A and B are shown apart, each in its own frame.
Chain A
Amino acid sequence: MMTLLLIGGCQRSSTPEPIQSAPERVVRLYNWADYFDEKILEEFSARTGIRYELETYDTSDECFARIKSDPAACDVFVLEDTVISAMRELRLVRRIHREKLPGIRHLDPGFLDLEFDPGNLYSVPYTWGTTLLAYRKDKVDPKPTSWTALFDEKYSGQVMMMDDSQESFAITLTTLGFPMNSSVPRELESARSKLIEQASLVTGYSDFSTILDALIDGTCWVAPMYSGDAADAAEAHPQIGYVIPEEGATMWIDNFAIPRDAPNVDEAHLFINFMLDPEISGRNAGSIWYASPNLSARAHTSEELLQDEQIYPAPEVLAKCGFLKKLDQPRLQAQNEAWAEVRRSPSLEARAAIRSTSPQ
């Protein structure tokens, strides 16, 4: 509270704008696109009198870069475990006041106190999912069961990859039969070569929504996709299918976190605790079609979502999946080097051409 006021005071002193007479309470949210049920946000404002502002992003790099540029840019943001872990090390996130979040008790202990944030000092799990393989049912036959589809020359010019070096590296390592978190130089080198080699097949390294659009309009046949978004698209467009490949997939937890210099820390906690409410959490999960780590929310979650095997995978499928580990320096370097090369591959120009001719 003290810190909040002080930061407020500091801001006032650094900006010449007049002080508002009636301090309106506000919470500034920063989240993936389509990752909140906005009705629920409105409900939050109605219940607490705290106005919300929502800004969205399409890649975790975007979110990370934004918060690194300005650790006071928002009050609550949502980001996956590995990035949270990096942000912890880079001191970009603020410690959570556990006592202000009684709703944490509803969370499945299996999602708490994990390696990326021991003790959940900086983050609170929001949803979880996998990065799986999405495809066009009408173009890819038979139904793909392996990540190798992304590297299949058959689909040259119809493959898209996420603009996410870590995810892409993990997929490549998995495809090659290596552990997804490998730091072995030889394996990293293999993955690098494989990725550079793949670049000729890839039409674009994009954010998830661009890929989704491409899947829907048929310019893309196979691509990695976040489980919930794939399911969402598949429901609207029956020709889209998705699968957790047999090699396994990366699992991730998206978390609420508070940036280091967030001005509205109290409101941020109130919001996070609101989102931990079982009823709210259940409804929200049903709306965004993502699995919630909120055990108590199951009672308020639609049966259909709970039955979706790609959202709540069977234990034997889950056993093949794993979390990405925090990037260590040699792996980070290898990824960055590879990614620099991949992004400068000739196919980039091709992608740029597609973009410039696209009506959007």
Chain B
Amino acid sequence: MSRSRSFGTIHTQVLLYFLLAGLLPVVLLYLLTTTFTRNTLETTEYRKIEILTGEVSRKISIIMQNATDDLKALAANHVLFESIGNQDARDANLRRVHDYYDDFTDVTLYETNGSVVASTTYQFYETVEHTDWFDQAVAGRVAITRPHKMIGRPGLFLNVYFPVMGPDGKTSRVICAGIAFDSVWNSLDGTQLGDSGYYVLLDGYGNVLSHPNKNMILEKFTDIDAATWRNESKGFARDEIGRKFMYAVRRLSRGETKVGEPWALVGLLPAEEGLWVLRRQQSLQLNVGLIAILVTFLLGIRLSKMLARPIADAASAARKVREGRLDARIRESGTNELRDLACAFNEMVEELDAHRNHVKSLVDHQTEKLRRSEVNLRAHAAELERSNNELESFAYVASHDLQEPLRKVITFGDRLRTNYKEQLDDRGVDYLSRMQNASRRMQTLIQDLLAYSRISTNEICFENVNLDQVLQDLLSDLEVPISESGARIEWSNLPIIEGDALQMRQLFQNLLSNALKFKKPGVSQVITIRGRKEEFPDSESFYVLTVEDNGTGFDPKYSTRIFDVFQRLNSHAEYEGTGIGLAICRKIVVRHGGSIRATSSPEGGAKFIVKLPAARTAAPEEADPSLVTAESRYA
């Protein structure tokens, strides 16, 4: 989480802005200089072509002029008018004259009817009499042919037809001189168009007059798309296989060339080469641009770190603080703003630390107090337990030892009554009787007390106890009192529990006795005993036993007090009893890990509800609250 990078981080954003800042000027500069350089280059190339075109036309003019002048001189030679001698002699004469004129590849002298008078070559293919230029020459005008090829000879040739005037002022013969057209071109060889650029001279019909590839001579010009160069005098065009060329066209007017239709000079430079300077400049710009971007990028990294690191440090420190390490501090460095931020943060943490220390000391103080109270409490509890144990032993011992003198009082009382009955008057007998009754009550009291204390002192012997069986045994023992009171006992669902059989019997006996005792006059007594199991999915299960009667009941406000030792809600006169029975009941239940409570309604009837754990758990050896109460009472 802490190191995830997204557009959201300062780092990334700063980098992006810096990239943009670096890229934008580079791109702008690139586009601008590209356009500028390209225009410059193009203009330069076009200029070159124009200069060259001028050169070509000038050259052609000069050659034509020279040829015409030479022919004029040649025509003035008297040799040409002599028809004497045979063919060979005439040819020899002509060759001699021709030797003076280097520019002419060959010279032929015609009669005006087209038959050859003499020739230096005889390499012509055609008879001339049907050609336009011969007709022109016969008519007295100098005529120049368009460039043409000759059978068996490479290159192009021009022919100049020149009329030779006879003495009568009419054309008497025609001289035709051949000029190698290539000489025009060869003189321009020094003018290079780049390394692989070239010039093409075209006639008015788009036929190639000059081309680096000699096979193209007099073929249609197809190096670049004709539609392009005919419409635009300069620009870019593609050839048949898709290569791109820069081209420029300059047309030569007829006046300039004096030959046929207007010619065109096309300069072609492979775009690759033409724009080489541009490419180099572009690559240079790209490199510089890349370096610029790189530098900007690095600066961006530096700056973003400068900005982001303190913030990241602050975040890290804040996390430490959150984890409670209040010693975390931010380095107070960098720009003023960042230093301010760091100071504020550090101050905040210091304050937080001070607060925490204060709170901690408070808590420590309270904890110490609490600890001391706990120690006191433990001491008290131990003291209490000790005194409780003492009390129980005392109770046991006392009740046990108290019985002996009491028995003697009763025994001697009986003997007194039996042996000295006659010596006693009625009042004496009455006193004796009262004394014995009191003694017997005291005996009962002591026995109950003893029983009560035994429950605390005796070990519980846990075993499976069938409560149904326990109750049935008990009922058979209590058959007499039950039949005397006329009570009806009903029971159901009594479970088998793990517990002490004797104590369980005691529990039932005490509860039944209690129920039987508080009979409502004039009502047939019914006592219902039921058992059920309460199960809870997440905690232990309980057996719930209820003992319900329809007797006099009790005031609900005593529902807890009735389980205290010696608590009697009624006088001895109404109901006999020691006030220990229910206390014993509670003690048994508590020792089995359960609880007991009693409810009563104002209409009468009491209900005792005993809850016992279904699974055996060791009864907590806790201080018996009743005893505590007793103790406190004794105290």
Q: Is residue B466 within 8 Å, beta carbon to beta carbon, of the partner chain?
A: no
* A261 CA to B208 CA, complexed, in Å: 12
Pick the interface stretch among B127-135, B601-609, B622-630. B127-135
Question: If the complex has contacts A6-B226, A61-B130, A89-B149, are A340 and B205 also in contact, measured as CB distance less than 8 A?
Answer: no
Contact partners of B206 in chain A: CB under 8 A: 3, 6-7, 10
Contact call B87/A337, Cβ cutoff below 8 A: yes
Per-residue B-contact encoding for A37-74, CB less than 8 Å = 1, 0 else? 00000000000000000000100011011101111100
Q: Is residue A90 within 8 Å, beta carbon to beta carbon, of the partner chain?
A: yes
Contact partners of A357 in chain B: CB under 8 A: none
Contact partners of B219 in chain A: CB under 8 A: 91
A interface, size bucket: 35 or more
Q: Is residue B168 within 8 Å, beta carbon to beta carbon, of the partner chain?
A: no
Q: Is residue A145 within 8 Å, beta carbon to beta carbon, of the partner chain?
A: no
Per-residue B-contact encoding for A86-128, CB less than 8 Å = 1, 0 else? 1001110000000000000000000000000000000000000
Q: Is residue B125 within 8 Å, beta carbon to beta carbon, of the partner chain?
A: yes
> Nearest-CB distance from A204 to chain B (Å)?
13
Q: Is residue B515 within 8 Å, beta carbon to beta carbon, of the partner chain?
A: no
Pick the interface stretch among B116-124, B270-278, B487-495, B530-538. B116-124
Q: Is residue A358 within 8 Å, beta carbon to beta carbon, of the partner chain?
A: no
* A89 CA to B115 CA, complexed, in Å: 24
Which residues of A from 260 to 281 have beta carbons under 8 Å from B?
A: 260-261
* A336 CA to B123 CA, complexed, in Å: 7
Pick the interface stretch among A133-141, A146-154, A178-186, A324-332. A324-332
Question: CB < 8 Å: which of A90, A340, A343 contacts B151?
Answer: A90
Q: Is residue A210 within 8 Å, beta carbon to beta carbon, of the partner chain?
A: no
Contact call A14/B261, Cβ cutoff below 8 A: yes
Contact call B262/A14, Cβ cutoff below 8 A: yes
> Nearest-CB distance from B434 to chain A (Å)?
157
Q: Is residue A320 within 8 Å, beta carbon to beta carbon, of the partner chain?
A: no
**A344 to B, closest residue via Cβ:** B115
Q: Is residue A319 within 8 Å, beta carbon to beta carbon, of the partner chain?
A: no
Contact call A332/B151, Cβ cutoff below 8 A: yes
Contact call B207/A10, Cβ cutoff below 8 A: no
Which residues of B from 215 to 229 have beta carbons under 8 Å from A?
A: 217-220, 226-227
**B143 to A, closest residue via Cβ:** A69
Contact call A332/B205, Cβ cutoff below 8 A: no
Q: Is residue A307 within 8 Å, beta carbon to beta carbon, of the partner chain?
A: no
Contact partners of A337 in chain B: CB under 8 A: 87, 119, 122
Q: Is residue B574 within 8 Å, beta carbon to beta carbon, of the partner chain?
A: no
Contact call B227/A70, Cβ cutoff below 8 A: no
Question: If the complex has contacts A7-B206, A10-B204, are A328 and B126 also in contact, measured as CB distance less than 8 A?
Answer: no
Q: Is residue A348 within 8 Å, beta carbon to beta carbon, of the partner chain?
A: yes
Contact partners of A86 in chain B: CB under 8 A: 125, 151
Q: Is residue B522 within 8 Å, beta carbon to beta carbon, of the partner chain?
A: no
* A14 CA to B255 CA, complexed, in Å: 13
Per-residue B-contact encoding for A248-263, CB less than 8 Å = 1, 0 else? 0000000000001100
Contact partners of B226 in chain A: CB under 8 A: 2-3, 6
* A186 CA to B133 CA, complexed, in Å: 36
> Nearest-CB distance from A32 to chain B (Å)?
14
> Nearest-CB distance from A23 to chain B (Å)?
19
Q: Is residue A9 within 8 Å, beta carbon to beta carbon, of the partner chain?
A: yes
Contact call A348/B115, Cβ cutoff below 8 A: yes
* A199 CA to B148 CA, complexed, in Å: 33
Question: If the complex has contacts A65-B127, A71-B205, are A333 and B121 also in contact, measured as CB distance less than 8 A?
Answer: yes
Contact call B130/A66, Cβ cutoff below 8 A: yes
Contact call B126/A64, Cβ cutoff below 8 A: yes
Q: Is residue B309 within 8 Å, beta carbon to beta carbon, of the partner chain?
A: no
Q: Is residue B230 within 8 Å, beta carbon to beta carbon, of the partner chain?
A: yes
* A7 CA to B207 CA, complexed, in Å: 11
Contact partners of B115 in chain A: CB under 8 A: 340, 343-344, 348
Which residues of B from 84 to 143 have beta carbons under 8 Å from A?
A: 86-87, 111, 115-119, 121-133
Question: CB < 8 Å: which of B118, B131, B153, B217 contacts A68?
Answer: B131
Contact call A14/B204, Cβ cutoff below 8 A: yes
Contact call A260/B131, Cβ cutoff below 8 A: no
Contact call A68/B126, Cβ cutoff below 8 A: yes
**B220 to A, closest residue via Cβ:** A3
Q: Is residue B242 within 8 Å, beta carbon to beta carbon, of the partner chain?
A: no
Contact partners of A71 in chain B: CB under 8 A: 205
Contact partners of B132 in chain A: CB under 8 A: 69-70
* A327 CA to B119 CA, complexed, in Å: 19
* A163 CA to B150 CA, complexed, in Å: 21
Q: List 15 A-B contacts (CB under 8 A).
A: A14-B262, A61-B130, A65-B128, A68-B148, A69-B130, A69-B132, A90-B125, A90-B150, A90-B218, A328-B151, A333-B123, A336-B119, A340-B115, A343-B115, A343-B116
Chain A residues proximal to chain B, CB less than 8 Å: 2-3, 6-7, 9-10, 14, 57, 61-62, 64-66, 68-72, 86, 89-91, 163, 260-261, 327-329, 332-334, 336-337, 339-341, 343-344, 348
